[in-house]
Amino acid sequence: MTALNYDFDHLDALMDEAGLDVLLVTSKHNAQYLMGGYRFIFFAAMDAIGHSRYLPVFAYVKGDKSKTAYVGNTMEKGEHDNAPFWVPHFYPMSWGSLDGMGTAIEHLKKMGVTTGRIGVEHPFVPSDTMELLQSSLPDCEFASATTVMENLRAVKAPAELAQLRAASEKITDSMQSTFAATGEGATKHEIIERLRLEETKRGLTFDYCLIAMGSSHNRAGSDQAWQPGEVLSLDSGGNMNGYIGDICRMGVLGAPDSELVDLLGEIEEIQQAAFAEVKAGASGAEAITAGQEALARQPNKDHTDFFCHGMGLVSHEAPFLLTNKPVAYEGRDADKPLKTGMVLSIETHILHPKRGYIKLEDTLAVTDTGYEMFGTKGRGWNAGA
C-alpha cells in the first residue's frame, strides 16, 4: 500500500465528531492528500474541458477502507498502470462532473450506502453534481466535510515537512539569485519573470510573486523601474508537489540607510517575539499576543500589521489563528494547543508613507521544544546588482 500521511483511526474519529458516515472528497488538494500524494498532471493547471470540468472523486465509508474508491478521468488508467493506486476500487471513467459523480454514486450503492450522513466539500462541489447527489440518494443527508479535511491535514507527517522545507528553501535561494542579478531600471514585470525562472529551474511550480517597489504600496506587476535607494519587496509562493512555500524578503538598490535598517529591525522584533512562543503544547494565541504586544511598542505601529496562518497544501489552512484578517475565516484554533508537525506562516509588514512596503514572512514548523524555520536565507537587506 502507498505510504499515507494520515491514519484511518484519526479520520474515523474526525468523522464521528462531525457526525459523518461517508466522505466524498472532490477538491484536487484533498484528493491528492487522501490518495497518498497523487495528482493527475493533465488537469494540474486547468479543470475545464468541453462542456464540463475534471472532477476527481474520493469516496470513503467510515470504518471500512476496503470500500474506498477513487473516480478519475479515463486517461488516469495509464497512471494507475504505471504506479498502481492504493485504493481497492478505481474507476477511470469520467470526462466531466456528472459522469464522475454518477460513478461515485453507483459505487456507494454497490457498497450498501443508501442512507446516512454524507460529508461533501461544499466549496468544491459543482451545483450539477450536488443536484445529482440529492436526487440519486434521497434518503441521505448531506453535511460539510471541509473541517474534517482541514483538521486531518493540520499535523504534517515527516514527508510533508520535507516538501515544505524544500519549497521554502528553493524560494529563498531563488530570491537571493534574483536580487543579486537585478539592477537599476529593471521593471517589476522583468523581476517577476526572473524569479519565476529561478524557481522553475529549482524544481518548483511557480504560483505567484507579489512585488512592491520604491515608495509605492502597490504589489501588482507593472513597468515601474527600480531606482537607486529604493526598496524591493518580493513575496512569492511556489510549491513542491503541491506543498506551498510562502516567503517574503526585502532588497534595496544600494546600501540600506539607517532608517531602512531601523524599519526592518522593527519587523524583526515583532517576528522574533512571535517565534519565541511557538512550541508544541502552547496555544497559537500566545504567539499572536506576543507579536501584537511587540508591534504596539514600535515607532511605526500605526503603519504596521502582523498576521499568522497555517500552511501546507493550502496557503491558509489549519491551524486558523486570527479572525477575518485578511482572509475571511474565524480564528477557531487560537486557544487550542499547537502540535508537533503543524506549520505556521508568520508575517509582518510596514506600509511606510515614504519608504514603501517593507515585509518579512517566514515559515515555521512546530516541534516538541520550539520550532524549525524553513528558508532562513536573506532575512536582512539584500543588495541589488
All structural domains of the chain: 8-153 (3.40.350.10), 158-383 (3.90.230.10)
User: Does residue 278 register a pLDDT over 70?
Assistant: yes
Give me the mean pLDDT over the 292-312 stretch: 97
Of 245, 259, 215, give the one whose Cα is nearest residue 233.
Answer: 215
Alpha-carbon distances of 291 from 90, 131, 223, 315, rounded to whole Å? 48, 46, 35, 20
pLDDT at 368: 96
User: Does residue 13 register a pLDDT over 90?
Assistant: yes
User: Does residue 322 register a pLDDT over 70?
Assistant: yes
Give me the mean pLDDT over the 142-159 stretch: 97
User: Does residue 1 register a pLDDT over 70?
Assistant: no
pTM value is 0.94
Average model confidence (pLDDT) for the chain?
A: 96
Of 32, 73, 60, 58, give the one whose Cα is nearest residue 240.
Answer: 32
Range 352-379 burial, b when 16+ CB lie within 10 A, else e: beebbbbbbbbbbbbeeeebebbbeebb
For residue 187, how far is the Cα from the chain centroid?
A: 28
User: Does residue 122 register a pLDDT over 80?
Assistant: yes
pLDDT at 191: 98
Percent of the chain scored above 70 by pLDDT?
A: 100
Q: Distance between CA atoms of 64 and 284, rounded to whole angstroms?
A: 35
For residue 197, how far is the Cα from the chain centroid?
A: 21
Q: Distance between CA atoms of 82 and 366, rounded to whole angstroms?
A: 36
User: Does residue 72 register a pLDDT over 80?
Assistant: yes
CB-CB contact of 343 with 364 (8 Å)? yes
Q: Distance between CA atoms of 169 and 198, rounded to whole angstroms?
A: 12
